[in-house]
Amino acid sequence: MYDPIFFQDIPSPWRLPIIGNLHLLNLNKPHRSLISLSNKHGPLILLHLGSIPTLVVSSRDIAEEIFTKHDLTFSGRPFLTTAKKLLYNCSSISFAPQGDHWRQARKIATLELLSSRRVRSFEVLRREEVEKLVATIKDLSIANLSELMLSFANNVVCRAALGDELGDGGYGGNGGVRLHQLLSETQSLLGGFCVGDFFPGMEWIDRLRGFHGRIEKNFEEMNTFFDGVINEHLKMREKEEESGNSISGEEEKDLVHVLLRLHKAAVLHGGFLSNIDHVKAILVEAFIAGTDTSSATITWTMTELIRNPRVRKKLQEELQQATKKNSHRLIQESELEKLEYLKQVIKESLRLKPPAPLLLPHETIQACEIQGYIIPAYTRVIFNAAAISTDPNVWEKPLEFWPERFEGRDVDFKGHDFELLPFGSGRRKCPGINFAMVIVELALANLLHCFDWSIPNGMKAEDINMEEAIGITTHKKEALCLIAKPNFSLMLTFVFWLSFQLIELRMAIILEIICDTSSETITWTMTRLIRNSRVINKLQEELKQVTEGNTQSLIKKESMRLKPIAPLLLPRETIQPCKLKISTRRRPLDSQHIRKRRFVWSPNRSDEEEEKPSELRYVDSIKLCRILILDVTSTLSPYANFIFIECHNNRYVRFQRIEKIIISILAEQNIYS
């Protein structure tokens, strides 16, 4: 128990026996309740939450005094029941109590996991996930941004933490639904009300109401999940070492590999990570902090932009200016530094809606004096970041969304300016600020550059529900559902997306087509030549004479006429009715009566039009372009009567390239025969 003599002069509201001031808190909006209490009793107040004395700081000046003069004293963390279980005895970075273990964990985060170099190494995966996001939204009539942003942030964190093999294919995207649910439950539990945290010795109440059972179930599922992740990485590392392809620290592509390397070194030489549970604790915290902070910030910012069309238009103009040389592309990370208004918008969003409005609770590790008051050791301390960032004594029009307030003001949110503390300050500030903010900036820039956003029909901006759902992170209570209209050609967007996200797949397809079509054509041509000695003799004479005749080219065409590589091509489908005229038949066709799948084997070998259609022959001119004459040219792509690969916009590859391959190989085969 604490000695009340220490707190006798600190402003404090009247309290009830046993429960103290708990009755004054709205557990669904605790930061709002604390703002009201601070407005009434002052910027530094003492609350008795159950049997726990709690100091509440709601002023920039007091926060500055604490973080600059008494940072070490206030760097403790209370042992909370939920964090103790879900984070392996509070052995993560943010929840670890002050001491040697915490210092080692902080050092690992700063130098290994979240260094500037490491954050930059994830640039490609962030870009790819943004491209996927844009491609997904353009196909939606109404976009649920709350769900999309949570999924997007989770995919980025999955791939950064687990690697492409597990993050993209196994636990990111559709495969990450279960992980989504686990993390959501973990976040809810960590931010929930636990009786034992305020009434030590009364933990049995949490068991009776089922809260303890939820904690145990969530822990077992998360523990099983991360055991599987670690085992998969250990197997991959063993295979790499056996093949002699083991990677160094510089080449490690995901956070699990980094942590396992550090764990291996700690086992040999001693250290914080010698216990594998500490690795899992850091991973759990990374997923919760990385996913929730980013997704909540993006969603709240988009909400404010929808409610403030002037700001949205001004921001979109800045984005258009940044890409004026090529507006049909996405914003790149290298361009983010130039987007000053975007940064002002994000700062304003963080000011009004800090992701964790009460930060994480601190605890004094020794007695100290603040504002003339003696604060004893082991006092729980809450910094109300929401109150500090909307203090009317500091901010003009504090409740208005006005990004221009930061114009010409060098105010940052990384803990150096105490009027804006969305991520805390001092030793205990969030170590993942850079990782989270590059995700936020890149996503917002491209959401606003690629789309014009509007509210579904029948709604007005003032109808948007701004209620908050409280956990460790403050999310929007009701999902943000908007209509997204692309700013530029969907085709250009799609081509751009393909050029990055599917580049490996595209190259594989092209190589396969080139190899398959070339080899098949050569094989069939040689087969026909062997069966026609007259033709092969004439071809060899041409090759020996090294003339400029076109015999070889004609033979190649004739072989393709008889044996087209893909006789049925790929199926086409009309997208609207049209009438077309085939010049060789002189009768109109209505596309409504044409089967959806057209075949092209017969046009190459029409018995009516070709003399000896099944015989290998060659002539000086073969009609390559018997084109369908279209009344509506946008309905169907023209295609040739003589066609062995598709032409026009849907051709496989440029015919000239394959032709050169075939001619060179045929010449080599025949000239040396």
Binding site membership for heme: which residues?
Answer: 430
Tokens of 459: 């709604």
Distance CA 283, CA 183 (A): 11
Q: Please, how many CA atoms are within 13 Å of residue 393, restricted to the half-sphere of its CB?
A: 10
Closest CA to 342 of 385, 296, 297: 297
Tell me if 669 sits within 8 A of 617, measured CB to CB: no
Q: Binding site: residue ranges?
A: 430
Element housing 100 (H / E): helix 100-108
Query: How many other CB atoms are there within 10 angstroms of residue 668's CB atom?
Result: 11
CA distances (Å), origin 509, targets 169, 504, 505, 663: 20, 9, 6, 22
Name 640's Cβ contacts closer than 8 Å, sequence gap at least 6: 624, 625, 626, 627, 647
Tokens of 305: 């932009």
Distance CA 298, CA 439 (A): 9
Tokens of 86: 């879900």
Query: Strand 481-486 vs strand 475-476: parallel, antiparallel, or unpaired?
Result: unpaired
CA angle 533, 534, 535 (to 5 degrees): 90
Distance CA 92, CA 86 (A): 10
Distance CA 150, CA 461 (A): 23
The CA-based dihedral angle spanning residues 272, 274, 275, 281, taken in that order and rounded to the nearest 10 degrees: 50
The label of the residue with tokens 């604060």 reads 375
Tell me if 605 sits within 8 A of 599, measured CB to CB: no
Reported residue count of the chain is 673
Distance CA 623, CA 456 (A): 55
Distance CA 585, CA 575 (A): 24
Tokens of 640: 């040739």
The label of the residue with tokens 């145990």 reads 216
Tell me if 89 sits within 8 A of 219, measured CB to CB: no
Residue type, 119: V
